[in-house]
């Protein structure tokens, strides 16, 4: 069980919910980091009194340092600050709740120190899954997923003594706000409509990923890395109610599922308390009052992002980093209102078509693939 956490990305949706759980569990907080939200980070720092807070740039760090004067809190900034927050000796657990590739180097730093990683930054495993898992093996670091689907699978695997007994992982997917629409109908979809998720409340980037189904594609790759299965052992099913969070099928035909109300605080709590379970104030699932549970196949023609991600899972090498970098850049442009909804998968596809895949990549190759794919997207969107 965690006692002291460093929380990377404390002002985002997962970060704020992690602090709620930390408050309930009475955990100590060694470090808090945010990109730009100085006001909220100041408020959090005053409550949790971490030894270190980190912001994205020097100007906001200086602003915050002025506001926290007199308190025993050091203020740092940038990637160096993030890596320091991830490596602090007093933290036994690092919660990686930052969005995007920026999480990769701090996660590797925390793994090198043998910390438990409560992993909420899926891009890390998507881009550099093999490196991250190999480092975790070498350093004896536990990686406990926070993503609800991967937490569900992790929970269904408790007590499994031989991973060879697992036949299949079944990832559930809400289908997002545009479920049932055709590719043509999606052409004119706006930012406002894409940001209206039916079941989960999340940050903007991941909510758009849920609308394109790229989120499920990234989770497909994440599951493959985390549980060391082949792409053929993962099935995606649309489950509109977001109550069955994912399932594991064993070779004897038994299928285990984890169910619950859609509330991220449950997988966050489990990542911090595993292998134990603690009392939670949240409302449990009421089976007699929940909607009928339905399952359907995903529509890969309407949502090509999911198919692209599944292809990259099979290709391997730097293709997943290209996919992820191109998607981050394209979603950024969509959120700025510069491109249409269907441009997101089109731009991701052209980055994958144009860039060469490198095999057995080192960290430098992955970072380069990420940058190159962003450049392609910016060029082609003009
Ligand atoms: Mg998820």
Amino acid 196: pLDDT: 84
Q: Which two tokens stand for residue 271?
A: 């990542």
Q: How far is the CA of 106 from the centre of ligand 1 (A)?
A: 21
Amino acid 145: pLDDT: 97
- Cα separation, 202 vs 320, in Å, equals 23
Q: How far is the CA of 94 from the centre of ligand 1 (A)?
A: 19
Q: How far is the CA of 20 from the centre of ligand 1 (A)?
A: 19
Q: Length of the chain, please?
A: 382
Q: How far is the CA of 13 from the centre of ligand 1 (A)?
A: 13
Q: How far is the CA of 120 from the centre of ligand 1 (A)?
A: 9
* H helix or E strand, kind and range, residue 145: strand 143-145
Q: Which two tokens stand for residue 234?
A: 């993962």
Q: How far is the CA of 370 from the centre of ligand 1 (A)?
A: 22
CATH superfamily for 4-145 is: NAD(P)-binding Rossmann-like Domain (3.40.50.720)
Q: How far is the CA of 372 from the centre of ligand 1 (A)?
A: 27
Amino acid 339: pLDDT: 96
- Cα separation, 324 vs 330, in Å, equals 10
Q: How far is the CA of 259 from the centre of ligand 1 (A)?
A: 14
Whole-model pTM: value is 0.95
- Cα separation, 173 vs 213, in Å, equals 8
Amino acid 20: pLDDT: 98
Q: How many helices (H) and strands (E) does the chain have?
A: 16, 11
Start-end of CATH 1.10.1740.10 domains in the chain: 316-382
Q: How far is the CA of 147 from the centre of ligand 1 (A)?
A: 5
Q: How far is the CA of 98 from the centre of ligand 1 (A)?
A: 14
Q: How far is the CA of 40 from the centre of ligand 1 (A)?
A: 25
String of DSSP letters for 322-346:
HHHHHHHHHHHHHHTTSS-TTHHHH
String of DSSP letters for 76-91:
EEHHHHHHHHHH-TT-
Amino acid 345: pLDDT: 98
Q: Are 248 and 171 spatial neighbours (Cβ–Cβ below 8 Å)?
A: no
Q: How far is the CA of 373 from the centre of ligand 1 (A)?
A: 24
Amino acid 1: pLDDT: 85
What confidence tens digit (pLDDT) does each residue in 293-303 have?
Answer: 999 999 999 99
Low-confidence ranges of the chain (pLDDT < 70): 201
- CA triplet 158, 159, 163: central angle to 5 degrees? 85
CATH 1.10.1740.10 at 316-382, yes or no: yes
Start-end of CATH 3.40.50.720 domains in the chain: 4-145
Q: How far is the CA of 203 from the centre of ligand 1 (A)?
A: 12
Query: Which residue(s) pair with 84 in the sheet?
Result: none
Q: Which two tokens stand for residue 85?
A: 């927050």
* H helix or E strand, kind and range, residue 127: helix 122-139
């Amino acid at each position: 069980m965690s006692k002291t956490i460093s929380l990377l990305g404390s002002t985002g949706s997962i970060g704020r919910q992690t602090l709620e759980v930390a408050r309930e569990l009475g955990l100590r907080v060694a470090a808090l980091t945010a990109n730009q939200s100085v006001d909220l980070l100041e408020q959090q720092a005053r409550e949790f009194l971490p030894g270190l807070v980190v912001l994205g740039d020097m100007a906001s760090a200086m602003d915050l340092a002025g506001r926290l004067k007199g308190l025993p809190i050091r203020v740092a900034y940038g990637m160096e600050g993030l890596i320091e927050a991830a490596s602090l000796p007093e933290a036994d657990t690092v919660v990686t709740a930052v969005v995007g590739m920026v999480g990769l180097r701090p996660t590797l730093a925390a793994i090198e120190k043998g910390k438990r990683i409560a992993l909420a930054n899926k891009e890390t495993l998507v881009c550099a899954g093999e490196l991250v898992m190999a480092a975790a093996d070498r350093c004896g670091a536990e990686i406990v997923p926070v993503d609800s689907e991967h937490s569900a699978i992790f929970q269904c695997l408790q007590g499994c003594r031989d991973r060879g007994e697992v036949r299949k992982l079944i990832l559930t997917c809400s289908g997002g706000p545009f479920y049932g629409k055709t590719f043509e109908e999606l052409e004119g979809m706006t930012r406002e409509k894409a940001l209206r998720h039916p079941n989960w409340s999340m940050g903007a980037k991941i909510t758009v990923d849920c609308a394109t189904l790229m989120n499920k594609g990234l989770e497909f790759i994440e599951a493959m890395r985390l549980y060391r299965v082949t792409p053929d052992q993962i099935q995606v099913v649309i489950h509109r109610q977001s109550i069955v969070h994912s399932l594991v099928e064993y070779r004897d035909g038994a299928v285990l599922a984890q169910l619950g109300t859609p509330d991220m605080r449950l997988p966050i709590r489990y990542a911090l308390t595993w292998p134990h379970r603690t009392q939670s104030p949240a409302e449990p699932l009421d089976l007699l009052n929940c909607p009928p549970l339905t399952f359907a196949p995903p529509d890969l023609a309407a949502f090509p992002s999911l198919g692209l991600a599944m292809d990259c899972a099979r290709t391997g090498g730097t293709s997943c980093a290209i996919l992820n970098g191109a998607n981050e850049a394209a979603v950024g442009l969509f959120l700025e209102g510069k491109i249409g909804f269907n441009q997101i998968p089109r731009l991701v596809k052209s980055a994958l078509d144009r860039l060469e895949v490198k095999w057995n990549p080192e960290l430098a190759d992955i970072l380069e693939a990420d940058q190159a794919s962003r450049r392609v997207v910016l060029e082609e969107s003009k």
